[in-house]
A and B are shown apart, each in its own frame.
Chain A
Amino acid sequence: MVRGGGRAAVLVLCTLCAGVAQSCGRDEMRPAPRELRINLETEPPSLDWSLATDGISIIAIQQLMRGLTRLSRDLRPEPDLAERWSVSADGRTYTFALRPGVVWSDGEPLRAQQFVDSWLRLLAPETAAEYAYFLFPLKNARAFNAGTITDPGAVGVRARDDATLEVELEAPLVYFPALVNFMVTFPQRRELIERYGERWTEPPNLVTLGPFTLEEWRHEYRLVLRANPRYWAGRPALDRITAYMVEEDSTALVLFEQGLLDLVKLPPLEIRRYRERPEYLRQPLLRGYYYGFDLRTPPFDDARVRRAFAHAIDRAEFPPLLQGGEQPWPSWIPPGMPHANPQLGLAFDPERARALLREAGVDPATLAPVRIVFNSDQTHKLVAEKVQAMWREHLGVRVELENREWKVFLKELATNPPPVFRLGWGADFPDPDNFMNLFTSYSENNHTGFANPHYDALVLRAASEVDPATRQSLYDEAQRILCEQDVPIVPLFVTASNFAVARRVHGFVPSPMDLYFFDRVSAE
Chain B
Amino acid sequence: MIRYAAGRVLAGVPVLWVVATLTFALLRFLPGGPFDKEKTLPPEILRNLERRYALDGTLAEQYADYLGRLVRGDLGPSYKYVGRDVSDILADALPVSVELGLLALAIALGGGIALGLAAGTRRDSALDRIVGIATLVGVSAPSFVIGAGLILGVGLELDWLPAGLWEGPRYAILPALTLAALPLAYIAQLTRAQVITVMHQDYVRTARAKGVPEGRVRRHHVLRNALLAVLTYFGPLLAILLTGSFVVEKIYAIPGLGRFFVTAVTNRDYPLVLGVTLVYAALVVAANLAVDLLYAWLDPRIRVGGAER
A contacts B: CB pair < 8 Å? yes
Partner of A20, one of B155, B173, B226: B173
**Which of A9-17, A336-344, A491-499 lies at the binding interface?**
A9-17
Q: Which residues of B contact A221 (CB under 8 A)?
A: 166, 253, 255
Contact status B162-A29, CB under 8 Å = yes
Chain B residues 74 to 88 lying within 8 A of chain A, measured CB to CB, are 80-84
Contact status B156-A23, CB under 8 Å = no
Number of residues on chain A facing chain B (CB within 8 A): 52
Q: Which residues of A contact B250 (CB under 8 A)?
A: 247-248
Can you name the residue of chain B whose Cβ is closest to the Cβ of A199?
B83
Contact status A9-B83, CB under 8 Å = no
Contact status B92-A219, CB under 8 Å = yes
Contact status A220-B263, CB under 8 Å = yes
Contact status A407-B80, CB under 8 Å = yes
Contact status A220-B117, CB under 8 Å = no
A193-224 contact mask (Cβ, 8 Å, vs B): 1 or 0: 00001110010000000000000001111000
Sorting the interface of chain B by its residue count into under 10, 10 to 19, 20 to 34 or 35 or more gives 35 or more
Chain B residues 137 to 188 lying within 8 A of chain A, measured CB to CB, are 151-152, 155-156, 159-166, 168-170, 173
The docked-state distance in angstroms from the alpha carbon of A261 to that of B300 is 55
Closest Cβ–Cβ distance, residue B19 to chain A (whole Å): 25
**Which of A251-259, A308-316, A350-358, A419-427 lies at the binding interface?**
A251-259
Q: Which residues of B contact A11 (CB under 8 A)?
A: 110
Contact status B163-A254, CB under 8 Å = yes
Closest Cβ–Cβ distance, residue B43 to chain A (whole Å): 12
Interface: A126 (CB within 8 A): yes
Interface: A3 (CB within 8 A): yes
Contact status B165-A415, CB under 8 Å = no
A49-68 contact mask (Cβ, 8 Å, vs B): 1 or 0: 00000000000000000000
Closest Cβ–Cβ distance, residue B190 to chain A (whole Å): 13
The docked-state distance in angstroms from the alpha carbon of A29 to that of B155 is 13
Interface: A244 (CB within 8 A): yes
Contact status B173-A405, CB under 8 Å = no
The docked-state distance in angstroms from the alpha carbon of A147 to that of B166 is 49
Q: Which residues of B contact A255 (CB under 8 A)?
A: 162-165, 253
Interface: A360 (CB within 8 A): no
Chain A contacts to B: CB under 8 angstroms:
1-3, 5-6, 8-13, 16, 19-20, 22-24, 26, 28-29, 46, 126, 128, 197-199, 202, 218-221, 244-248, 250-252, 254-255, 257-258, 260, 404-405, 407-408, 411, 414-416
Chain B contacts to A: CB under 8 angstroms:
35-39, 41-42, 45, 80-84, 89, 92, 106-107, 110-111, 113-115, 117, 151-152, 155-156, 159-166, 168-170, 173, 219, 223-224, 226-227, 250-253, 255, 259-260, 263, 266-268, 298
12 additional A-B residue pairs with CB within 8 Å, beyond A2-B219, A248-B250, A251-B164 = A2-B227, A9-B111, A9-B115, A12-B106, A220-B263, A221-B166, A221-B253, A246-B164, A247-B250, A248-B164, A260-B164, A405-B266
